[in-house]
A and B are shown apart, each in its own frame.
Chain A
């Protein structure tokens, strides 16, 4: 009897890019739901616009680059990029913010660098950074968390806000607020003490009102990823440890002038960044030791940007900057091979 031949190993692969991306999406769900609950349907608009734009851009770019569209689209990587970007954007951003962001992420940051696996910078964060630098005003329209809203916002108000921004400036003023990180930064700049600042309503029991629950939801999702072995602990623990240690030192040395580590960990994008953004395998360090270092550097740099930089939130810039050091980190953290000294 005759048989066809092929090469070992013959064991079916136990994992796929699609499966990993799928679990990332699942793990993002608690955070997404909490964000919608806290910040309203604006989150949903961001997600929908980012998704549709990203998928269209992905298909277009795959087509232009002569890649098979279906297998590559079904890896879900564009969906993850779109979702991460959407979650990082302010909740009342005008529609063209997620639209332009998704185009930048997919076309420039991903495909012009060679597509999945070849991009040195995290696409969602590149898009976020470009938007932040180019449209600083539109990148700050965060809706007040649900607990602090005085007037309720109707769905039609929301639509008119997102699609015709100029329509109702008073409404915007009434329902948006600076983020806790933003407030902290501005007020510290005005020589207020932490206690004075934290008495403001944007601060909740742990950190920022509303934000703290979102952070905890992302933390839960992150734990799911760890449990499912989609990510290893090295990067998230590195990021959080880096951020914690440096903010703890500052907090201990000048308690009146430095926000607590808890505030740093739970107020902004630290959890989303640590578990979902810094862990993007394509742009992270690849060795085990290197990953911890990579994470820790992001944590520390985030603190530095938040404290001394020009922007209240530093995750995106920190990730991009540390992305650049990856080849170096990888080079100096190669594991000792069996049988070598």
Chain B
């Protein structure tokens, strides 16, 4: 299969996968408390369907999607709703947000699942709504509601290629690798569901070439499945080849238009973990209530992959991995390139959590002494989007946001490549994140002020119109008044004259 090469990237990033891949996936126990932030996907927060005191079963929907871009949430075990209130959520700023807490009863009673092994009988629309109802979102980390990606209604053109993203390019993370090693057949079943749903011509499952044993497992599953539309591809291990845009470029040579989506070039790309969730939902009738998470780093005693109920506090996962080591220094959700540090381990894992990295001091740098930029251009050579980070930095730092936008700040995928290669140790990505959000605020304000201006102008126009109308009316009235008195006076005069004539003595009287 012909492959393409995206610009830059980091080909020699230390992988740190072995720490967590040698053990099979283990199921984490039911914790005493499950916590569900109502917004754990891109889009609108879900709305709670339960109240405090309600008894819920595993698989029961406890919060429903609100609006088109949103996803429902299901309980991962049986128990009683104990709180619906703010709880710490996994967020870089340590926010709390509305969440449903369930005190589990340990019985793990389940709603009877109702699978559809005969998925080919179902229409695309039925399958989309099944997937939507199962609460499935992108499990690769983006957490975008999957049903929207799959819904042909929202597409500008036909999908011909389905890409299954098994390229875990971030160091340390191995959950998709373990999933493919152990459950490749189920993933391929999921691929069949998606191919049927999308009507796509081909599906390519891509993984990096640093895990040949996993590739064999996939090959076997593909061969057994015997669907010629499905193929597996090994791609070079270069961070961030698992980024959606980079993967599409690597496999097809095509680029997603700036500001567009893959569907614009006839492609849908879905993470393999998400495909597994689709298989579980459609064929086995189980909504998304658990996922595989890599728990790793020098800060945990036994790094490994766990099948975790969504809503489980991180501390439970650490216990399953035999606790912290003395070196535990940072708690990172996600990988070391794009993840974020958490303040404590009472935070629950959400649908998007693919990795808990407990990093030691030397695994995670935290303080970098930034020096002036020496314009070496290494950042630009490393940028997978072909941006000029050094110029972006210049403009973001001096708050020249329009200029930064003009040289395509918004195309930055925040991969961190530039940051890692910079010899001056400038925290480039941090500047870009800040500038991007400032720009978003600016756009929003501009939008608001445009709306306000339009409103103001409309009001002005209305007022002017009203004024004009009033003026017109009063002019008409005045005219009428003028006319009336004139006529009246004349009439009066005439009648007086007449009266005088008739009664001359009156005038002299």
- Report which A residues bind B (CB closer than 8 A): 1-17, 19-20, 71-72, 75, 77, 115-118, 232, 281-282, 284, 286-288, 291, 334-340
Q: How far is the CA of A282 from the CA of B372 in the complex (A)?
A: 10
State the B residues within 8 Å of A (CB): 6-7, 13, 92, 94, 171, 245, 249, 255-260, 315, 324, 328-332, 334, 336-345, 359, 362-369, 371-378, 380-381, 384-388, 390-391, 407-408, 411, 416, 419-425, 427, 429-430
Given the interface pairs A17-B423, A117-B373, A334-B407, the reply to whether A9 lies near B388 with Cβ below 8 Å is: no
Question: Are A9 and B416 within 8 A (Cβ)?
Answer: yes
Whether B425 and A3, one on each chain, are in contact in the complex, defined by CB atoms closer than 8 angstroms, is no
Indicate if the CB atoms of B407 and A116 lie closer than 8 Å. no
Report whether A13 and B258 are in contact in the complex, using a CB–CB cutoff of 8 Å: no
Q: How far is the CA of A254 from the CA of B342 in the complex (A)?
A: 73
CA distance in complex: A284, B427 (Å): 23
CB closest chain-B residue, reference A231: B376
| Residues A9 and B386 in contact, CB atoms below 8 Å apart | no
Q: Is the CB of A9 within 8 A of B343?
A: no
- Bound: A2/B324 CA distance, A: 12
- Contact among B344, B374, B390 for A116, CB-based, below 8 A: B374
Q: Which residues of B contact A338 (CB under 8 A)?
A: 6-7, 245, 249, 255-256, 258, 384-386, 411
Residues of B with C-beta under 8 A to A1: 315, 324, 328, 331, 344-345
A-B pairs, 5 with minimum CB distance: A117-B372, A9-B416, A339-B258, A5-B341, A10-B364
| B330 cross-chain contacts in A, Cβ below 8 A | 3-6, 10
**Contact between chains at A19 and B423 (CB < 8 Å):** yes
Distance in angstroms from A285 CB to nearest chain B CB is 8
B331 touches A3 (CB 8 A): yes
- Docked Cα-Cα span, A338 to B259, in Å, equals 11
A29 to B171, CA, bound (A): 38
A6: chain B residues within 8 A (beta carbon): 330, 341, 364, 366-367
Minimal beta-carbon separation of B375 from chain A (angstroms): 5
A229 CB → nearest B CB, Å: 9
Q: What is the chain B residue whose CB lies nearest that of A291?
A: B377
Contact, CB under 8 Å: B258 / A287: no
- Residues on A with C-beta less than 8 A from B376 are 20, 281, 286
B359: chain A residues within 8 A (beta carbon): 10
- Sample of 8 more A-B contacts, CB < 8 Å, known A287-B380, A287-B388: A1-B331, A1-B345, A5-B94, A10-B339, A10-B341, A11-B336, A286-B377, A339-B385
Per the bound structure, the CA–CA distance linking A186 and B96 in Å amounts to: 80
Given contacts A1-B315, A336-B386, A339-B258, contact A8 B420 (CB under 8 A): no
Q: Which of A11, A19, A282, A284 contacts B337 (CB 8 A)?
A: A11
Q: List 23 A-B contacts (CB under 8 A).
A: A1-B328, A3-B328, A5-B342, A7-B340, A8-B334, A8-B339, A8-B340, A9-B338, A9-B416, A9-B420, A11-B337, A11-B420, A12-B365, A16-B423, A16-B425, A71-B371, A77-B374, A117-B375, A117-B424, A286-B376, A286-B380, A287-B388, A339-B245
Known pairs A117-B375, A232-B381, A338-B384; A7 contacts B343 (CB<8 A): no
Q: Are A339 and B336 in contact (CB under 8 A)?
A: no
Interchain CA distance A132-B373 in the complex, whole Å: 30
Complex alpha-carbon distance, A5 and B339, angstroms? 11
Q: Are A117 and B374 in contact (CB under 8 A)?
A: yes
Is the pair B256, A15 in contact by a Cβ cutoff of 8 Å?
no
**Complex Cα distance A11/B332, Å?**
12
| Closest Cβ neighbor of B430 among chain A residues | A7
Return the chain B residue nearest A5 by Cβ: B341
Q: A3 with B344: in contact, given A9-B336, A334-B407, A338-B386 (CB under 8 Å)?
A: yes
Shortest Cβ distance from B373 into A: residue? A117
